[in-house]
Amino acid sequence: MRFDILTIFPGMFDGPLSESILGRAREAGHISVHLHDLRDWAHDRHRTVDDYPFGGGAGMVMKPEPLFEAIEAIASEDPAPLFRVFLSPQGRRLDRALVGELAQQERLLLICGRYEGIDQRVLDHAVDLEVSIGDFVVSGGELPAMLLLDAVARQVPGVLGSEGSLEEESFDGGLLEYPQYTRPAEFNGWTVPEVLLSGNHAA
């Protein structure tokens, strides 16, 4: 599965993409992640991608021209259909069902907003789905994009070391995962439940 990420801060993704499960998944070729700096499609020497909003108001709005040009260029890099996602507090809530839907796509473009948002014309004509990670505001779309990427990548065959790990995920079947214990069997006077020590795990 291919992920494309459009952002003005591509460096924010270096750590998450090179470590742990995502890092191993990329090395093994189970997923590919391509970072794109929106400023590469700016039209001036200052690489400006935002401007004042019509009608006034606080903050700046991301301009339509760089976004449209970037999305078109990214789409042309691979013949697989590109499903375009904008990370937004106003979007559909990210949950297990949506993660499963997104995992069925061949390519995902994660568009990371900044400032007060992006020009509505981009949302109307160049975005397939707005996705929210919750009813709160963060500084930009990069952190939500990392969460979405991690959640969706886990659904890709081969990404997790054990298929059982995916089957036993905390929210599979609508149930939270059972409590976990490891050695030692006793710590600070607190003991592991006897049923786990006896081998009768079906109880």
137 token code pair: 């505001």
Residues 142 and 7: beta-carbon distance below 8 Å: yes
Residue 182's CB is within 10 A of a number of other CB atoms, namely 7
Q: pLDDT for 161-177, tens place per residue? A: 766 566 555 556 666 67
Give the number of C-alpha atoms closer than 13 A to the C-alpha of residue 150, restricted to the C-beta side: 16
| DSSP H or E segment with residue 167 | helix 163-167
Question: Quick one: 2-163 is in which CATH superfamily?
Answer: SPOUT methyltransferase, trefoil knot domain (3.40.1280.10)
Instruction: Indicate the domain borders of the chain.
Output: 2-163
Q: pLDDT for 81-127, tens place per residue? A: 999 999 999 999 999 999 999 999 999 999 999 988 999 999 999 99
pTM over 0.75: yes
Residues 34 and 26: beta-carbon distance below 8 Å: no
Q: pLDDT for 39-84, tens place per residue? A: 999 999 999 999 999 988 889 999 999 999 999 999 999 999 999 9
